[in-house]
């Protein structure tokens, strides 16, 4: 049985104080509810402080990116060992915004995956097509090409997480329909299976909200969610964590905290 994961990617948001305050409240709300794996990805500046705030809880911390070199003259870069040292369990790799704004490629993604694996970080490896690629019938080719990064890296099923994020749904308010998301996830799982990764968790990311989380999580090949903007609001993020569970939101969380 693949355990559900809800991951919040905060992107370029929250100071150290704001990040630790959020983490403290999240930990208090979730203290007795080990429902699903919960991960948050603060900016680099807050990784160590948030990791310290969440020490002893079941909430894990992820970086938003990792550089592939171990040390040297690479101004502004952060290595996998540095991320691990800051208290992270996970790191995002290959997010579409990194590909779009920072020229990351399949080749550099492979290097990042190798670097993360070498220090024991679990990569959350992001794949997905643009609207133009989908409408031109190239979605499957794009996903196959992106997933080829895993082909020779010998990951075990639990040592990597894949996140399918249709680029046309990220930050746009447009979400893939449940059937579109399920079809893409089933295709991704079919690509992963010959690599021995059929039981690897596959998250959906793209304008996830409390209103659509339960329907997405009900799909057979969707093992969790990579949440962007909605993960910045504590109430929305908690509702997404609880989505699709028996009982009401109030049944699952301690609401005495602001």
Q: Is residue 15 part of a domain?
A: yes
Listed in sequence order, the residues at least 6 apart from 40 whose beta carbon sits closer than 8 Å to its beta carbon are 7, 8, 10, 22, 23, 26, 50, 59, 60, 61, 62, 231
Q: What share of the chain is helix, strand, coil (3-state, %, to 5)?
A: 45, 15, 40
Q: Is residue 211 part of a domain?
A: yes
Q: What pLDDT is stored for residue 135 in this prediction?
A: 86
> What is the number of structural domains in the chain?
1
What CATH number does the domain containing 151 carry? 3.20.20.70
Rounded-to-integer distance, Cα 72 and Cα 90, Å: 23
User: Which H/E stretch holds residue 28?
Assistant: helix 16-29
Rounded-to-integer distance, Cα 217 and Cα 241, Å: 10
Rounded-to-integer distance, Cα 149 and Cα 144, Å: 9
Domain boundaries, position 137: 5-252
N-terminal to C-terminal alpha carbon distance within the chain: 34
Q: Do 80 and 29 form a contact (C-beta atoms < 8 A)? A: no
195 secondary structure, DSSP code: G
Q: pLDDT grade, residue 131 (50/70/90)?
A: confident
The whole-chain average pLDDT of the chain stands at 92
Q: Is residue 257 part of a domain?
A: no
Chain segment 59-103, per-residue pLDDT in tens: 999 999 999 999 999 999 999 999 999 999 999 999 999 988 999
Q: Is residue 56 part of a domain?
A: yes
Q: Is residue 215 part of a domain?
A: yes
Q: Which residues are catalytic?
A: 95, 165
Rounded-to-integer distance, Cα 224 and Cα 164, Å: 10
Q: Is residue 187 part of a domain?
A: yes
Which pTM does this prediction carry? 0.94
Q: Do 220 and 189 form a contact (C-beta atoms < 8 A)? A: no
- The burial class, CB within 10 Å (0-12 / 13-18 / 19+), for 161 is buried
Q: What pLDDT is stored for residue 169 in this prediction?
A: 75
Residue 252, pLDDT > 80, answer no
Q: Give me Rg for the CA atoms of the chain.
A: 17
Residue 23, pLDDT > 50, answer yes
* Cα angle for residues 94, 142, 132 (degrees, 5° grid): 100
Question: 227 pairs with which residues across the strands?
Answer: 8
Q: Is residue 246 part of a domain?
A: yes
Q: Is residue 214 part of a domain?
A: yes
């Amino acid at each position: 049985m693949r355990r559900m994961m809800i991951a919040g990617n905060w992107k370029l948001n929250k100071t150290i104080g704001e990040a630790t305050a959020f983490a403290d409240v999240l930990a208090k709300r979730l203290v007795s509810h080990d429902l699903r794996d919960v991960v948050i990805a603060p900016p680099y500046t807050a990784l160590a402080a948030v990791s310290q705030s969440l020490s002893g809880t079941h909430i894990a911390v992820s970086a938003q990116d990792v550089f592939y070199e171990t040390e040297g003259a690479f101004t502004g870069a952060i290595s996998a060992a540095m991320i691990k040292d800051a208290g992270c369990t996970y790191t995002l790799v290959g997010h579409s915004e990194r590909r779009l704004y920072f020229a990351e490629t399949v080749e550099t993604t492979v290097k990042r995956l190798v670097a993360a694996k070498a220090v024991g970080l679990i990569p959350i490896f992001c794949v997905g097509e643009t609207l133009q690629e989908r409408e031109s019938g190239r979605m499957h080719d794009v996903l196959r090409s992106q997933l080829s990064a895993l082909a020779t890296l010998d990951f075990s099923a639990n040592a990597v997480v894949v996140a399918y994020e249709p680029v046309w749904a990220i930050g746009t308010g447009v979400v893939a329909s449940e059937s579109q998301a399920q079809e893409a996830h089933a295709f991704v799982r079919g690509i992963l299976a010959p690599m021995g990764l059929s039981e690897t968790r596959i998250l959906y990311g793209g304008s996830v909200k409390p209103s659509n989380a339960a329907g997405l999580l009900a799909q057979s090949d969707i093992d969790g969610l990579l949440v962007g903007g909605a993960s910045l609001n504590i109430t929305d993020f908690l509702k997404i964590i609880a989505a699709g569970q028996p009982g009401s939101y109030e049944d699952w969380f301690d609401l005495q905290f602001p």
